[in-house]
Amino acid sequence: MNNGSKDVILPPATIGIVGGGQLGQMLALQAKAMGYHVGVLDPTPASPAGQVADFQIVAEYQNYEALMTLAQRSDVLTYEFENVDEHALKAAQAHTKLPQGTALLHITGNRQREKQFLKDHGVPVTSFATVTSSNELTTALQEIGTPAILKTAAGGYDGHGQVNLETDVVPAEALDLLQVPCILEARQTFKLEVAMMVARQADGRVVTFPLAENRHHRHILHTTIAPAAVSPAVHRQAQQIATTIAQALTLRGVLGIEFFVLEDGRLLVNEMAPRPHNSGHYSIEACNVSQFEAHIRSICGLPIPDITLAQTAVMRNLLGADLTVARQTLVTEPTWHFHDYGKAKIKPQRKMGHVTVLGSDVNQLLASLAQLKGEH
């Protein structure tokens, strides 16, 4: 079905997406705009991505037969979240292309492996130690000191699966975490959190997006501001680190990298996401190429132009009932770029959509979104 180079997958080829959430939806919308067909695997009928795809296979992600069916019906396979069965994905490569491979998932799906990979490639990270027992935790606390954070090595998101340790007195909830392998990290004092999306073409050329500031509430991303208000040197540092990581991973697709900016301007990598990321949503309206188009272009072997930012952008997540407020506010806010993910139920602290605004004055943009009071 493909034309041209063996690495190039041209429309109207079929892109299979494992995962039917909002990231899959925005990937599917971009792929459809470019003329591709899209198939989705997700257990939720009429999932956000399934609503805009050509077909959806309704099955659990661990359903081997369902994944093989998606692979057989697709010219290329990608994923929108990390918790995909690596062995099943390897088997799927007998039926279709998987440009991202499985090593990327193997590394980023485990905090200890991720931190070690970064450290091995000279990328700055906080001090860390692997912990699998209370004795190892005691030893790690002596080495790393406090304050520290104990996190499950695998799984965990938006603050789940982690415990803050202010002293070397170990609370009961930390011991509960140790039922699974964990990682202890030194807690950093930082000025702000920033993130950068990076993509790499099939020929090895790396493209970076503008560095953006992330503001969190209850461990969930609340607001993203692009570009981040940091010095040009910090932007360059982030680009260099992102390029190093992309090359070391032989990256295909898009990767999200979250950093801490320390008081002295140095960057530490906090974590990575092997897919489009919430903090890159601003790129849909603010950049010449969105993170989703960059991802599609990369996995399909198409070139990606240098990324430019047209205007300052502020993206605000809509959690739970924020979605209802935002819908009602549309009648008075013509400049809002409103995204509703089409999830079946509104739940507290659940990402239901987002709003992006563009302009030249960050304070004005933040003020225009201030009427979204947010969940507390």
pLDDT interval class at 158 (50, 70, 90): low
Residues 351-364, mean pLDDT to the nearest whole number: 97
Which CATH number does the domain housing residue 131 bear?
A: 3.30.1490.20
Phi, then psi, of 269 in degrees rounded to 5: -80, 125
Name the domain count of the chain: 3
Examine the domain organization and report whether 221 and 334 are in the same domain. Answer: yes
Residue 276 lies in a domain: yes
CA quadruple 231, 218, 109, 207: dihedral, nearest 10: -30
pLDDT digits (tens, 9 = 90+) for 225-259: 999 999 999 999 999 999 999 999 999 999 999 99
- HSE of 146 in the Cβ direction (CA atoms, 13 Å)? 13
**Residue 177, domain extent:** 127-186
Q: Can you give the pLDDT at residue 128?
A: 97
Residue 120 lies in a domain: no
- Of residues 176 and 39, more confidently modeled: 39
Examine the domain organization and report whether 231 and 89 are in the same domain. Answer: no
Residue 351 lies in a domain: yes
The dihedral built from the CA positions of residue 335, 359, 310 and 239, taken in this order, carries a sign that is negative
Examine the domain organization and report whether 216 and 292 are in the same domain. Answer: yes
pLDDT digits (tens, 9 = 90+) for 110-119: 999 999 999 9
First-last CA distance in the chain: 51
- Structure tokens belonging to residue 343: 């999830």
Q: Which amino acid is at 353?
A: G
Residue 206 lies in a domain: yes
Examine the domain organization and report whether 91 and 56 are in the same domain. Answer: yes
Mean pLDDT score of the chain: 95
Rg value, the chain, Cα: 21
Examine the domain organization and report whether 204 and 269 are in the same domain. Answer: yes
Phi, then psi, of 289 in degrees rounded to 5: -135, 130
Examine the domain organization and report whether 204 and 326 are in the same domain. Answer: yes
Q: 59: left (phi > 0), else alpha (psi -120 to 50), else beta?
A: beta
Residue 18 lies in a domain: yes
Residue 114 lies in a domain: no
Q: Is 45 helix (H, G, I), strand (E, B) or coil?
A: coil
- Structure tokens belonging to residue 296: 């599609």
Examine the domain organization and report whether 52 and 175 are in the same domain. Answer: no
Residue 132 lies in a domain: yes
- Structure tokens belonging to residue 313: 């952008």
Which CATH number does the domain housing residue 61 bear?
A: 3.40.50.20
Q: Can you give the pLDDT at residue 156?
A: 72
pLDDT surpasses 60 at 183: yes
| Nearest-angstrom CA–CA distance, 341 and 44 | 14
Query: Model-level pTM greater than 0.85?
Result: yes
Which CATH number does the domain housing residue 295 bear?
A: 3.30.470.20
| Strand partners for 148 | 165, 186
Among 60, 75, 54, 52, residue whose Cα is nearest residue 6: 75
Examine the domain organization and report whether 167 and 240 are in the same domain. Answer: no
